[in-house]
Amino acid sequence: MAKQNIINRTLGVNFNNDKFATVNVWAPDATEVTLQTGNAHLTLIKQERGYWALDTDKIKAGDTYWFKVDGKQLPDPASLLQPEGVHGPSEAVDLKSFNWTDQQWKNPLLADYIIYELHTGTFSAEGNFKGIEEKLDYLIDLGITAIEIMPVSQFPGDRNWGYDGVFPFATQNSYGGPQGMQQLVNACHNKGLAVILDVVYNHLGPEGNYFGRFGPYFTDKYHTPWGAAINFDDAGCDEVRRYFIENVLMWLRDFHIDALRMDAVHAIRDFSPVHILQEITEHVAQLAQQSGKTHYLIAECDLNDARYINPVQKGGYGFDAQWIDEFHHALRVAAGGERNGYYTDFNGIADLANAYQNGYVYHGQYSEQRQKTFGTKTDGINGRQFVVFSQNHDQVGNRMLGERSSQLFSFGMQKLMAGAVMISPFLPMLFMGEEWSETNPFQFFVSHTDKKLIEAVRKGRKAEFADFHAEGEAPDPQAVSTFENSKLNWALPHQGQHLLMLNYYKTLISLKKQQPAFKKTDRNNMSVKVDEAAQTIIIQRWTDEQRVLCLLNFSKKDQELNIGGNNNQPWQKLFDSAEPKWNGPVASPAIINTSEVSVPPESILIYTQYYA
């Protein structure tokens, strides 16, 4: 397949320097395609490979329009804005008209990312991009270096996680549209924050999905749990691949997005000689060479396959990093969480130690839950290529009641889990509100307009949790109250234990940033020792100038840990989650010079030695 135009968007309606519009739409089986705007009906001219095109001065930025494909009125599949929602007309937008002021911005090294995942609709009372912008100073004070925004592509109504989007190029109208998104990114950069955007390339949502009326965007060769599979390797796939590659380039180039997190890439099926993900990385590399800017690609993948994050030269797809759900699963089981569903494959403390050492818990062992040998080795892969967390939107929101850790674990255990993430050699990620122990849930919500679809979603949600009646009924995804209940309570971080937890997270993040041994993402300079009976882990990490000792006690009683000797040099305390100032039972000694250390229950102690 020929290389895409790196410099300009070419699909849909776009404006050149003379404000003339170039119109281009793919409809390979059509016999006539027109563009309708106001009273004008503009006939497009058929091009090679099923495209229809036109240069015109009859449409201006701000005008709404439809395509008519053999007489059927349809919104633009490459629409940039759907002002009346997924079933309404598209609006022409000049992406180049925004006045960027982030020319001095430089994307940080990936190893310096401290990520904060948020959902635009529930992060603030306003539920839009402006609401996020107003909280940027708070995030900077917390110590965050990159925000990760859940998908913003146009979805039905104004309440949705974002994974039901049906216009990948159109920024959700109720959030503020494309200009609102550009303004948010610009503001983030001017305050020193990177922006990661979550995108979905494995399926499109069910309502407002008109793609099949234009061309073979989908294939029956494969299936996904959420809808028809995108056609990346069947007849007509070249133009589908072009569509999604252009989408990637648009977010990075025209919205100045620093990194893309791609949802569930294991559900992207492609047996082409060059996998679509590899082709995406190659185009992003071209863009970087042309622009001089750095962009990262992060995968969510359930395959424990290092191919996704290995460089192309080593037969990989070249992604920069991936989410590691298995670290989360092992951590939660170690913390005393339930062992049902996919958690049955994790035995807790030993698997958490495994995750610290290997990233993947399963890297070639037999999985009882999957009933097969699973995973690949991660030798030689730097820790910055793994994103870890104690909570995220999936792991909270896919629970029946959407309970956060604050409702499931003790205050002490929440502190320990936060510490367990921050001391790892991986990239840490927080889920919005966890830093103050938010008590509101994060539940699954939608705002479809199709009554049959609404009922199907309700029934599906109830069926999914049919065995959990003792815990109550699954909240109605369509109800406004389900969405409202999922909003952050911004009064909490100023109160009692919530304020204490917020200050605790700030201190941990500062430690992560300032201590040389924690800043490094080298997995080789680390030792991990686990005691399953005592439910403890001893982790040491080191650089040429410093060694840190991390003592984690997941049990409910004091544990005596043997840390061994190290040139008879005493250890100086850096951090103690059990100190009374963190609402703990007792402070541990400021200096230790013995081989035995008593660690309070559900706590983490961190000591250091600096080399002369």
Please enumerate, by residue number, every residue annotated as part of a binding site for substrate.
261-266, 325-329, 393-398
Q: Kindly name the residue from 254, 300, 351, 435 that is annotated as catalytic.
A: 300
Q: Kindly name the residue from 91, 207, 246, 263 that is annotated as catalytic.
A: 263
Tokens of 534: 């005592």
- Amino acid identity, position 517: A
Rounded to whole angstroms, the Cα distance separating 219 from 233 reads 9
Rounded to whole angstroms, the Cα distance separating 488 from 326 reads 26
Annotated catalytic residue 345: no
- Amino acid identity, position 511: L
Rounded to whole angstroms, the Cα distance separating 97 from 115 reads 30
Is residue 548 within 8 A of residue 560, CB to CB? The reply is: no
Rounded to whole angstroms, the Cα distance separating 147 from 93 reads 26
Provide the 10 A C-beta neighbour count for residue 564: 10
Query: Nearest 5°: phi and psi at 63?
Result: -75, 145
Q: Tell me the β-bridge partners of 609.
A: 547
For residue 108, give the DSSP letter.
P
Is residue 595 within 8 A of residue 589, CB to CB? The reply is: no
Is residue 402 within 8 A of residue 441, CB to CB? The reply is: yes
- Amino acid identity, position 125: A
- CB burial string 87-102: b at 16+ within 10 A, e below: eebbbbbbbeebeeee
Q: Tell me the β-bridge partners of 428.
A: 388
Determine the 3-state secondary structure of 65 from DSSP: strand
Q: CB under 8 Å to 558, separation ≥6 — which residues?
A: 598, 599, 600, 601
Tokens of 584: 């703990």
Q: CB under 8 Å to 181, separation ≥6 — which residues?
A: 129, 152, 171, 175, 255
Q: Which residue is listed with tokens 């080399």?
A: 611
Annotated catalytic residue 263: yes
- CB burial string 278-306: b at 16+ within 10 A, e below: bbbbbbbeebeeeeeebbbbbbbbeebbb
Is residue 204 within 8 A of residue 211, CB to CB? The reply is: yes
Rounded to whole angstroms, the Cα distance separating 571 from 562 reads 13
CA 26-27-29 angle, to 5 degrees, is 145
Three-state SS sequence of 322-358: EECHHHHHHHHHHCCCCCCHHHHHCCCHHHHHHHHHH
Q: Which residue in 50, 101, 59 sits closest to 80, CA to CA?
A: 59
Where is the binding site, in residues? 261-266, 325-329, 393-398
Q: What share of the chain is helix, strand, coil (3-state, %, to 5)?
A: 30, 25, 45
Kindly list the catalytic residues. 263, 300
